[in-house]
Amino acid sequence: MDATPTPFSALLRAASHEQHTQVAGSAFMGDLLGGRLGVDAYRQYTEQLWFVYRALETTPGHLAEDPVAGPFIRLDLARTEELERDLTHLGGPHWRSGLEPLPATAEYADRVAECVRDWPAGLVAHHYTRYMGDLSGGQIVRGMAEKTWGFDRKGDGVRFYVFESIPNPASFKRDYRALLDALPVDDLEKQRMVDECKHAYALNTAILGNLSRRFPLSA
């Protein structure tokens, strides 16, 4: 009797575990979560996220009907406007003035935009990497920021981490994993998605490395 195949969502999570650990254990995130960096470091981190999410959420209308990417394009996950509210709070109304992506951020945003344009399954890989992290470990960042810098609970400065339209994150994540398991792609495409997920983590780690050089407390 054949063994039950491992769900794709489980394969994706297991395959990217090492990269996820590297992100969580980076010097910059360690110093940020440990309260050893000032609010300016948090602001600059948030600025870099804005470039990535702007690329991720600038999706052509036809993708909503795409059989692979369409089910994942959801307004209740959208973060760009929340990032902009946070950045207005952190940097004032002219926070965009002179703002440039770090080299690693530009590479990350360009890769996301390429997937948005040319490869729906690749977009899903980046989508999974970002939003599932936001709903899980991102809540640790929110709690740290509220405690360290006195932001109102779930208020301006941490709205990026607040998903008001998702009252039950655990249930949402179960449904999300079910969508991954039901993706209409073959095994070769699934492997490409796993590789892209690992690439996404590597790109994110590179951003943290760039920021660590700006804030070299643990260097």
Q: What domains sit in the chain, N to C, each tagged with a CATH number?
A: 8-214 (1.20.910.10)
Q: Is the dihedral of CA 102, 106, 112, 116 positive or negative?
A: positive
Residue 131 annotated as part of some ligand binding site: no
**pLDDT at 114 (0 to 100):** 98
In this prediction, residue 7 has a pLDDT band, given cuts at 50, 70 and 90, of very high
On whether 42 is known to bind a ligand per the annotation, the reply is no
CA distance 182 to 219: 44
**To the nearest whole number, what is the mean pLDDT of the chain?**
93
CB 131 within 8 Å of CB 124: no
Q: Is 13 annotated as a binding residue?
A: yes
In contact, 160 and 52? CB cutoff 8 Å? no
Confidence band (pLDDT; 50, 70, 90) for 72? very high
Express each pLDDT in 114-161 by its tens digit: 999 999 999 999 999 999 999 988 999 999 999 999 999 999 999 999
Which residues are CB-contacts of 182 (< 8 A; sequence separation ≥ 6)?
none
The pLDDT-based confidence of 100 (bands split at 50, 70, 90) is very high
Residue 2 pLDDT > 70, yes or no? no
20 assigned binding-site residue = yes
Greater model confidence, 151 or 62: 151
